[in-house]
Structure 1
Amino acid sequence: MSTPSEPSQPSQQPGVPAQPSAYPYPHPQSPPAPGVQGYYSPTVAGHPQPGNPYAAQGPYGPAAAGGRGAGRAVLWAAVGAVAASAAWAAGVFVIGAGASPQLRGYSAPSNLCDRADYSSFKDEYPQDDSAPAHTSLKEDALEEGYCSITLKKTGSSYGDAYLSIQADLHKKTDPGPEFTATWKNYRKSHTGYDVEVVRDIGDEAYLVSQDTTSGSPSSGSRSATLAVRDGWVTYTMSYSAYLSTYNQDKDPPRLDDVTDWLRSDTKATLDRLKD
């Protein structure tokens, strides 16, 4: 009699969803609802939980034939499991509690749209967004500010491009290792993106960009994200333009111009976010 095969396990999806713009947050046209995160926060989850050697059934099962000696063995095995688990947990607590958050005077305002500087985009997109979307979160482990802005050319009835800004203050865990893994290696999990190391902002920063227009006046997109880590604070500023909805009388700016604007406005915004 054949043994039924084990059902195949679903493949793990990448931690960062593929989107036309290179950032692991909701699309700027669909900002998260108040109080709902809905984004990938690159925090370190601490030490991985090792397999519990006491979880499996060992030689000391229910002692029907072993009498009192086997029963004592079961008791001592259980006591040992509890003691070992408690000792391991205590060790993790002591190790994890040693580091102090490196917030360096930054704050996450309740309305990041009011504090963010995006003046470099004003010449290209002079029409103001009358109601930019913003959310915030203040918890013991994380403070967060998010802002989504619609950018319009002169004469445009609808948005021509979108700007998303997010600041995260990680107060319990160092985001450094996962931040580096996410952004430095972005092109390994997202086809068609360029990644550039930026040397003069924060402790580390990466500029991620993509142009899929291929000279077409009506299809494809241009996007760029500048991701910065300064201590335990992470910040992203992302631009996206879709030619299918862009003002047909205008061309979107070159990515070289966009990345220059992102650098300038990121520096200015980070300065504003310091108390």
Structure 2
Amino acid sequence: MSTPAPAPASGYGAPSPVYPPAQQYAYGQPPGFPPPTVGKGAAGRAVLWAVVGAVAASALWAAGILLLGPLDDRADLAGYRAKANLCSSVDYSALRTEYTEQDSSPTHNSLKHKAIDQSSCSISLKTGSSSSYADAYLSVEMDLHKKTDPAPEFTAVWSQYDQRYQDYEVQKVSGFGDEAYLVTEDTTSGTGTSGSRAVTLAVRDGWMTYQMSWSVYTSSYETTTPPEVSEVSRWVKTDTRSTLENLRSD
């Protein structure tokens, strides 16, 4: 029996449904809002200082210094930003060496909270326009941990992934953030016509965690066998590198 693609570990799972958008001008006054009238004497000065404080607070909100709650003093988001639509930042150009047909309607989800921001994207991969269904699947997730350092749990989950699933192999890789692991699976037979293959690259950069996962059941390929795990691993590394650059610059 084939083993399914890596299921997201607890703490790094798929985000909850999209969080409702914040109301416009939720913090501070909207542009052009007239200042309050300030009286004379001590009472007037008190009102004046209140106005000055409100203006200063509004400026801080506008500059993004204050969030839904203050970040933990230790939080290191490494320059990454939360994405309402992560798919717009995902680059899978290397994978399109095999999957030439671009998904016109990938799905995405996001959650924004004072403790964590999560974004995910799911893309159907097709080798060509003749494919009736997806030949393989790509999923990407980025989590910004704003209150708790994810390093210990990240290391435990990904470095020992093969303890939970016997068909998986784990390799620590360099060149991606502070810590990264390549997790692969291949249960195909000698002919490559049955079984499954999967590749996941998990990256931690500061308090940001990220995964790019490719998975396929060989029976879903219409005319050919799927690419080798070693080849897909190279593509996933290339696409992860460019995607992470996009997530820091967008």
TM-score category by the smaller chain?
A: 0.7 to 0.9
**Residue number in structure 2 paired with 1:246:** 221
Whether 1:145 aligns to 2:119 is yes
- 1:32 shift after superposition: 6.7
Whether 1:35 aligns to 2:18 is yes
User: For residues 189 and 107 of structure 1, do their structure 2 counterparts lie closer, same or farther at Cα, with a shift above 3 Å needed?
Assistant: same
User: For residues 110 and 213 of structure 1, do their structure 2 counterparts lie closer, same or farther at Cα, with a shift above 3 Å needed?
Assistant: same
**Residue number in structure 1 paired with 2:5:** 21
Distance 2:242 2:7 in 1: 20
- 1:126–1:153 contact (8 Å) kept in structure 2: yes
**Residue number in structure 1 paired with 2:49:** none
Distance 2:15 2:216 in 1: 20
Percent of matched pairs sharing the same residue: 50
Output the amino acid matched with 1:103.
L
**Residue number in structure 2 paired with 1:119:** 93
Whether 1:190 aligns to 2:157 is no
**Residue number in structure 2 paired with 1:132:** 106
- 1:188 shift after superposition: 1.1
Name the SS of the counterpart of 2:101 in structure 1.
coil
Structure 2: tracts of 5 or more residues without a match: 20-70
- 1:23–1:238 contact (8 Å) kept in structure 2: no
Larger radius of gyration: 1
- 1:272 shift after superposition: 0.7
Structure 1: tracts of 5 or more residues without a match: 1-17, 37-96
Distance 2:179 2:201 in 1: 11
Distance 2:192 2:169 in 1: 22
Q: Aligned ranges for residues 92-107 of structure 1 at < 5 Å?
A: 99-107=73-81
Structure 1 residues 138-165: Cα deviation after superposition (integer angstroms, max 9, x where no partner): 1101111100000001221110000000
Structure 1 residues 38-77: Cα deviation after superposition (integer angstroms, max 9, x where no partner): xxxxxxxxxxxxxxxxxxxxxxxxxxxxxxxxxxxxxxxx
- Equivalent position to 1:227, from 191, 202, 221: 202
Structure 1 residues 229-249: Cα deviation after superposition (integer angstroms, max 9, x where no partner): 0000000000001112222x1
Distance 2:178 2:225 in 1: 35
Distance 1:234 1:143 in 2: 11
- 1:218 shift after superposition: 3.1
Structure 1 residues 205-237: Cα deviation after superposition (integer angstroms, max 9, x where no partner): 000000001224432100010000000000000
**Residue number in structure 2 paired with 1:174:** 149
User: For residues 158 and 130 of structure 1, do their structure 2 counterparts lie closer, same or farther at Cα, with a shift above 3 Å needed?
Assistant: same
Distance 2:16 2:148 in 1: 25
**Residue number in structure 1 paired with 2:239:** 265
Distance 1:229 1:261 in 2: 19
Distance 1:273 1:258 in 2: 22
- 2:86–2:108 contact (8 Å) kept in structure 1: yes
- 1:99 shift after superposition: 4.3
Output the amino acid matched with 2:81.
S
- 1:144–1:168 contact (8 Å) kept in structure 2: yes
Name the SS of the counterpart of 1:181 in structure 2.
helix
- 2:112–2:118 contact (8 Å) kept in structure 1: yes
Aligned residues: 193
TM-score (norm 1): 0.66
**Residue number in structure 1 paired with 2:51:** none
- Equivalent position to 1:207, from 166, 170, 182: 182
